[in-house]
Amino acid sequence: MIEENFDDINITLFLDRLNKNIYHNYNFEKTVELNQVIKVDQQESIAGRVLLKRTLGNLIFMNISDMNGNLQISIDRSSFENFDDLSNNIQLGDIIGISGITYLTKSGELTLRANKCVPLRKALIPMPDKHAGLQDINLKQRYRYLDLIYDHSQRKKIQARQLIMQSIREFLSDYIEVETPILQNIASGAAATPFSTHHNALDTELFLRIAPELYLKQLLVAGYNRVYEMNKCFRNEGIDTTHLQEFTMLECYTTYISYEKLQDLTVNLLQFICEKISSIQEVKYNYKNIERISYVDLLARYNINYFEINENNIRDIALSHNIDVNIYKSYQSLLDAIYKKCCINNIVDPILVYDYPRHPLSVPKDNNFSYQFQIILKGQEIIKSYLELNDPCIQYENFRQQLDVLNTGDTDAVRMDTNFIKALLYGMPPAGGFGMGIDRVATILTDSDNIRDTLLFPLMKW
């Protein structure tokens, strides 16, 4: 037995509205979008939601709105035998279709004078305040569809996000966009805690991917030279203003590319995105000249000498920067904490930092560093890139070392994926790849306080 729970909907609210005509009209065809009505003396048909209504006896003005724009329409008694029905039944929030001829009102506003008015669907629940809309952040996120009707700054954030994704696809037009599995047997490719689930038919535990990386590299083995994926990844970790449990990641791979060209590629992409975004809003960051600096030099800029740090003094150095040394288990994570606290947090304009300490999936440069770089913007790592490790023996050994980390109880390590090792054994061409968190870029470029502002429907507990 399935029971629906409507407890949170106050039925008495819409009894009033149920007494009105519930419209069932499905054949109205509009001729233009609301923002395409620009000239007088045009016969047009438009449709949308009634957001404002002013009744002046025998004349009604309404403002019709949707995501494309808004338009004032007028209905006068002399044009309609059923004027009283229309006047009485159309309420704020209803969706109506209007045909008529455009004209300028006495105050000069372009208006569609209706000679046909077809109510299309009634709003049975009263709409939010016609001016203020939703203000409660809880309600704004929970009922985003209402929020988007009223909050134009929220619309703009969503629009910017869409433009970012669109411009990425445009920039990568000579790459092939692919889809790789989201449900995976092993969630590898990054160091994070995955969501797990169960597949009934196969009776097996599955994980939601934390990164598409290892599958995309298998496509390099297959012979794809330029490939990318932009889609959801999932990490079962804390939620805050810069982290989501479900986020959109771009990962892009290019074979036979040099370290320097890889840097150029990511810088050009970021600049391309910023240019596109600046067509709809100001970009506050100096993205035109992006400085490139090595990891060691960046540390030095903040008075930290990388080569003087060792196992013996790192805890003292961390303590001197007010870092809680008990939280970080390994030398690497402690070093990373120092780097973030002392350097990253101070960065505002985009900067490219290269030659990071060794990473289990990247090509090592020497004993300390790998061919890895990141682009930092407003204190956040928005692009992470490296030359891809394609030596199966070193890769296997790196996975083995990560297993040791996992065995210490730390759940955040890159998990062993022997299928990936097998693919590497067949030979993966040299390649460079990068990843970019779309949500974070959108958050920063739209000047949002919370990463959830860039989502249509952020996760809520119901």
For the beta carbon of residue 376, count every other beta carbon within 10 angstroms: 23
Query: What separation in angstroms does the CA of 107 have from each of 103, 110, 237?
Result: 11, 9, 56
For the beta carbon of residue 17, count every other beta carbon within 10 angstroms: 18
Q: Which of 167, 145, 157 is nearest to 452 (CA)?
A: 157
Task: Tell me how far apart the alpha carbons of residues 282 and 270 are, in angstroms, rounded to a whole number.
Answer: 15
Q: Which is nearer to RNA, 128 or 212 (CB)?
A: 128
CB of 427 to RNA, least distance (A): 26
For the beta carbon of residue 19, count every other beta carbon within 10 angstroms: 9
Q: Which is nearer to RNA, 3 or 174 (CB)?
A: 3
CB of 60 to RNA, least distance (A): 9
Task: Tell me how far apart the alpha carbons of residues 447 and 460 are, in angstroms, rounded to a whole number.
Answer: 23
Q: What residues have CB less than 8 Å from 406, skipping those under 6 apart?
A: 413, 415
Q: What sign does the dihedral 248-67-55-22 (CA atoms) show?
A: negative
CB of 91 to RNA, least distance (A): 4
Instruction: Quote the tokens at residue 424.
Output: 């590497």
Q: Which is nearer to RNA, 53 or 169 (CB)?
A: 53
CB of 267 to RNA, least distance (A): 18
SS3 for 278-346 is CCCCCCCCCCCCCEEEEHHHHHHHCCCCHHHCCCCCHHHHHHHCCCCCCCCCCHHHHHHHHHHHHCHHH
Q: Which is nearer to RNA, 142 or 225 (CB)?
A: 142
Q: Which is nearer to RNA, 24 or 461 (CB)?
A: 461
CB of 330 to RNA, least distance (A): 9
Q: Which is nearer to RNA, 163 or 296 (CB)?
A: 296
CB of 295 to RNA, least distance (A): 10
CB of 51 to RNA, least distance (A): 8
Instruction: Quote the tokens at residue 354.
Output: 């290269």
Q: Which is nearer to RNA, 134 or 206 (CB)?
A: 134
Q: Which is nearer to RNA, 121 or 225 (CB)?
A: 121
CB of 301 to RNA, least distance (A): 19
Strand order in the sheet with 291-294: 176-177, 226-234, 246-255, 431-437, 380-387, 372-377, 351-354, 291-294
